[in-house]
């Protein structure tokens, strides 16, 4: 996912059937922009399950195998573990620990929300099984230095798409992380999707299309803004 990532961390075979696994604890937005002139940010969470859950939170560098014990990040969630009743909303605080971070470009971390459902108390019928699933959702936490407080909304429009035979080189010349939700090249009557998601500051990605692209081809793309909304843009290939 571009705005957050969902993974099944633990599956305990103690149940009858397994439905589609969906995290029931949802956040008010899909990303947290941590402004460099603030020491903390907040995120409202709500339990949309019809049962209580224990929620554990930690921030790391995005590794799926990370745990609260081995994660390392300059941002700390409070409280790190708490209970949410059905329908209950609670604000999670994110505190900046003061570690020195780059001042001329954004830094990216991930907030982990580990959702643990209650253990079923109903007896399991003979010859049946029950499946209990704990869910872990990851969402972006972007630390934006004070010097970059302005200009993020224009960054995606500064992306450069360069034709290179049967490949497209996408360049992000800005100090911001840019999340693309889709992009495609129009070459005559042919439309070629570009498989690209997150563009780090001052980096380039080369995407193979399998077909020739040329200078002047139209590129249409969609990105996710600070509020989690989709925005669209259109440029010509360089």
Q: Give 190's contacts (C-beta < 8 A, 6+ positions apart).
A: 211
- pLDDT > 50? residue 1: no
159 closest CA partner among 195, 128, 201, 190: 201
pTM for the model stands at 0.83
Q: Give the chain's radius of gyration (CA, Å).
A: 21
- Quote the CA–CA distance of 83 and 49 in Å, as a whole number: 13
Just give the CATH number of 152-237.
Answer: 2.60.40.10
Per-residue pLDDT reduced to its tens digit, 64-94: 788 889 988 999 999 999 999 999 999 999 9
pLDDT of 194:
94
113 closest CA partner among 48, 164, 187, 198: 48
Write out the residue limits of the CATH 2.60.40.10 domain(s) in the chain. Answer: 23-147, 152-237
- pLDDT > 60? residue 107: yes
Instruction: Please state which of the four CATH numbers 1.10.3720.10, 3.40.50.200, 2.60.40.10, 3.30.70.270 is assigned to the domain occupying 23-147.
Output: 2.60.40.10
């Amino acid at each position: 996912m571009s705005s957050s990532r969902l993974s099944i961390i633990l599956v305990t075979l103690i149940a009858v059937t397994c439905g589609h696994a969906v995290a029931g604890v949802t956040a008010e937005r899909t990303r947290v922009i941590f402004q460099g002139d603030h020491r903390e940010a907040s995120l409202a969470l709500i339990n949309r399950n019809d049962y209580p859950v224990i929620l554990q939170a930690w921030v790391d560098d995005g590794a799926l195998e990370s745990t609260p014990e081995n994660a390392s990040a300059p941002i700390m969630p409070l409280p790190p573990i708490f209970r949410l009743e059905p329908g209950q909303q609670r604000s999670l605080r994110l505190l900046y620990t003061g570690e020195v971070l780059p001042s001329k470009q954004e830094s990216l971390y991930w907030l982990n929300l580990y959702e643990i459902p209650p253990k079923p108390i109903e007896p399991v019928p003979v010859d049946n099984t029950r499946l209990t699933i704990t869910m872990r959702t990851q969402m972006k936490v972007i630390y934006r230095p004070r010097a970059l407080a302005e200009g993020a909304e224009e960054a995606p429009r500064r992306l450069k798409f360069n034709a290179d035979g049967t490949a497209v080189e996408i360049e992000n010349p800005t100090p911001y992380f840019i999340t693309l939700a889709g992009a495609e090249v129009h070459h005559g009557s042919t439309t070629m999707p570009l498989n690209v998601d997150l563009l780090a500051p001052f980096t380039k990605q080369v995407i193979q299309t399998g077909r020739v692209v040329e200078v002047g081809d139209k590129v249409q793309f969609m990105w996710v803004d600070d509020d989690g909304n989709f925005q669209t843009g259109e440029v010509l290939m360089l």
